Chain A
Amino acid sequence: MLLISKRDILRMKKMSFIMVAVFLMISASLAVAGTLDEVKKRGQLVCGVSTGLPGFSATDEKGVWKGLDVDGCKIIAAAVLGDISKIKYVPLNSKERFTALQSGEIDLLVRGTTWTLHRDTALGLNFAATNYYDGQGFMVKKKLAVKSAKELDGAAICIQSGTTTELNLADYFTENKMKYEAVVFDTHDQTMQGFEAGRCDVLTSDQSQLYGLRTHMKNPAEAVMLPEIISKEPLGSVVRQGDDEWFNVVRWSFYAMLNAEEMGVTSKNVDEMKKSTNPNIRRLLGLEGDKGQSLNLPDDWSYQIIKQVGNYGESFERNVGMDSPLKIARGLNAQWNKGGIQYGPPMR
């Protein structure tokens, strides 16, 4: 027997509408607070890196994270918190990385991520800095005696899932009217295992990664690189869209590294350089000009970056260059006045 009147129902409906409205208001005010303030308050930077790629982000035998991408995390911790040890590294595979950043699980993603139109717009991300200009290459077993990627018709190719590499590969083979078999794995390690065991003839990835992965082979001399580079892969630091303050911090921390190299300021001579009278160097080290104010950072932010991590050249050579097992030449990643395209805008 229904004794609730129509008016009661209407009233309940009205109430639920009010409740929905209230919920919506709450959720609106729950919008993201500034990442910079959040990191400062937390006293720790949460940085997304790869699950293990030698030279870029991998742990050494003591379990310490090292690499060019790891340095990309460290400069931010140095600038914001003044201490490169205050970082929590979150290893992510290529499938997890964007969701982790979008959902706020990490503050910053430095994981060999290619800057593309789609990712920059539709995924709600911003590419703050390009710490490595790369291109997609091929690695094959020496005994196959292949000299060019054009000879790869019908080959089985190991590849990591969820990368731009998958798309470039398809484009390249379609364009050259060749067939291929894509064997798709989740992580760098599995992809490498597939290649080593002979499941595929070819391993394709960004060329820097191929060099890194080759150092982990049982017999690195077994594999050779093919000369073709089939894509542009600007790799760098990624942040969430709509947080300009944080975007600026990440972008200019990297530019500070670049400018330091250009001006010859290194982790070793930075204390001496403080006495320099060169106004450019004085501005770089936060002794003159805007200092840290406009970035909402301490005045010595760039000094801390150079002191604790080093300039871009130091970081490059230590992790992937001539001082590392990878022995990658600077190439595109040299300074703009040395034949490369790394260019730090003026800091003034």
Chain B
Amino acid sequence: MTKPVKTTAWWNNARNRALMFQILLGSAVFLFFFFIGNNALHNLEQRGITTGFAFLKQKAGFGIIQSLIPYTEASTYARTFVVGLVNTLLVSAMGIVCATILGFIIGVARLSSNWLISKMAAVYIEIFRNLPLLLQIFFWYFAVLRTLPSPRNSMHLGEWAFLNIRGVYIPRPIYEQGFGWVTGAIIISIAAIVILKRWATKRQENTGEQFPVLLTSLGIVTILPTIAYFATGTPLHWELPQLKGFNFRGGITVIPELAALLAALTVYTASLIAEIVRSGILSVSHGQTEAARALGVRQGKILRLVIIPQAMRVIIPQMTSQYLNLVKNSSLAAAIGYPDLVSVFAGTTLNQTGQAIEVISMTMAVYLTISLTISFFMNWYNARILLKER
């Protein structure tokens, strides 16, 4: 380190100056937020508006149509937060899975050498990515689902499943004693498959001999749990939905709000993902395909082993932002009454308690956390599949 020249004043030293500006900027930012926060608190107090998070412990006293965790009218406002959060996560997770699958299929179909398939995929993409999402949600909810019959005229699949304007009703599994063995068998067979896969890969690397992993896996995963199921005396029964009074009772209900929202989110996001997949595949030089063909690799394997892994490097970063969009777009649920976080917590709870600042900041914190988590995982995955330079 060079000694600072004595004749220069300390404020002329570049390092000190930089530090000073950092401190100045930092305190300005701090002061700004401090001022805003303080001012808000001050004004709230002056107008006699209650603040703080004590409301979370109070009884909510309103019903929510769909809850994956136990919830009644006697639950607290904190519980409504969790119910809303779980519902948001549910529709987001299902949306991400469905949109990814559909998007990949359409993206690949778009590049198909079959003229009809390729054009159909193109039409799909152009229609759905160019219409506003809210409009699509309304379309599914108000146009498509409204054509379904009333509960008393439900469409049905024997006595098992029913479909009407109130939703889809399917049987609920009831687990009895001994079902733990079946679950155990499933876990064991999955573990066995993982081990088998490792062994097969190693063997192929060493000897070049291939092993039919897929078929064997399917065998293991069906046979082992089936044996356990019958050995423990069929410990699984089904609760069938039955029409009682106004609606079906029993079984599992998929409410139409969830179906409409999921359909809209999937179809819309899939159209964007399809384009990302197409761009990813096109980014892989055609020479790679030709080289693989020259080695005698089959068409399906070329796609799976040569093209897709390289395309992923282009696809993943863009995919991350689509996933983030999907999660954030799920908040449009409020428009059709799906009980997500925005509808339940930033809607009903906000209004019943009147504590807008607390409720909105909690809601924002949730979306931020979800988005950052997705981002983190996708970045980790991206780093994993990056071209390894040795």
Contact = CB atoms under 8 A, between A and B. Distances in A.
Interface of A: 1-4, 12, 16, 19-20, 23-24, 27-28, 31-32, 94-95, 98-99, 102, 118-119, 121-124, 144, 152-156, 161-163, 166-167, 169-171, 173-174, 180-186, 190, 193-194, 197-199, 201, 240-242
Contacts of A118: 354
Nearest to A200: B166
A20 B62 contact: no
A123 B166 CA distance: 36
A123 B39 CA distance: 18
Contacts of B48: 121, 124, 241-242
A288 to B, nearest CB: 37
A141 to B, nearest CB: 10
B354 A170 contact: no
Interface in B225-257: 244-247, 249, 256-257
Given A3-B16, A24-B38, A98-B351, 20 more contacts: A2-B16, A20-B38, A23-B35, A24-B42, A27-B35, A28-B42, A31-B43, A121-B50, A123-B49, A123-B354, A124-B50, A152-B246, A155-B245, A166-B62, A167-B352, A170-B63, A173-B73, A183-B65, A183-B257, A201-B247
Contacts of A124: 44, 47-50
Given A16-B27, A155-B246, A180-B63, A194 B337 contact: yes
B207 to A, nearest CB: 61
The 5 closest A-B pairs by CB, nearest first: A162-B351, A124-B49, A123-B354, A182-B63, A170-B73
Contacts of B61: 167, 170-171
Nearest to A179: B249
B245 A27 contact: no
Contact of A102 (B35, B49, B166, B348): B49
B25 to A, nearest CB: 13
A99 B356 contact: yes
B146 interface: yes
B246 A122 contact: no
A167 B353 CA distance: 12
Contacts of B246: 144, 152, 154-156, 201
B223 interface: no
Interface-central residue, A95, A98, A119, A161, by most chain B CB under 10 Å: A161
Contacts of B158: none
Interface string B158-197: 0000000110000000000000000000000000000000
B42 A27 contact: yes
Contacts of A197: 142, 146, 165
B38 A27 contact: yes
A82 to B, nearest CB: 29
Contacts of B73: 170-171, 173-174
A161 B65 CA distance: 12
A198 B165 contact: yes
Secondary structure call for the A interface: mixed
Contacts of B31: 16, 19-20, 23
A183 B334 CA distance: 11
A199 B49 contact: no
B150 interface: yes
B334 A186 contact: yes
B249 A154 contact: yes
A23 B34 CA distance: 10
Nearest to B47: A124
B38 A166 contact: no
Given A1-B4, A185-B337, A122 B42 contact: no
Contacts of B356: 98-99, 102
A241 B20 CA distance: 46
A122 B354 contact: yes
B352 to A, nearest CB: 7
B163 to A, nearest CB: 14
A166 B344 CA distance: 12
A167 B247 contact: no
Given A123-B49, A186-B334, A154 B348 contact: no
Interface in B15-67: 15-16, 19-20, 23, 27, 31, 34-35, 38-39, 42-44, 46-50, 61-65
A238 to B, nearest CB: 12
A53 B246 CA distance: 28
Contacts of A119: 354
A240 B47 contact: yes
Contacts of B348: 161-162, 166, 184
A162 B347 contact: yes
Nearest to A22: B35
Contacts of B352: 162, 166-167
A152 to B, nearest CB: 8
A87 B336 CA distance: 32
A299 to B, nearest CB: 32
A197 B42 CA distance: 48
A154 B245 contact: yes
Contacts of B285: none
Interface in B46-95: 46-50, 61-65, 73-74
A159 B107 CA distance: 42
A144 B4 CA distance: 91
A155 B246 CA distance: 6
B4 A98 contact: no
Contact of A162 (B44, B65, B247, B350): B350
B199 interface: no
Contacts of A201: 246-247
B280 interface: no
A291 to B, nearest CB: 31
Contacts of A27: 35, 38-39, 42-43
B139 interface: no
A156 B247 contact: yes
Nearest to B4: A1
A161 B338 CA distance: 12
A121 B354 CA distance: 11
Contact of B62 (A156, A167, A186, A194): A167
B343 interface: yes
B339 interface: yes
B142 A193 contact: yes
B362 interface: no
Given A24-B42, A27-B42, A167-B62, A1 B13 contact: yes
B305 interface: no
A288 B125 CA distance: 76
Nearest to B357: A99
Contacts of A94: 351
Contact of B27 (A4, A12, A174): A12
Contacts of A199: 165-166, 256
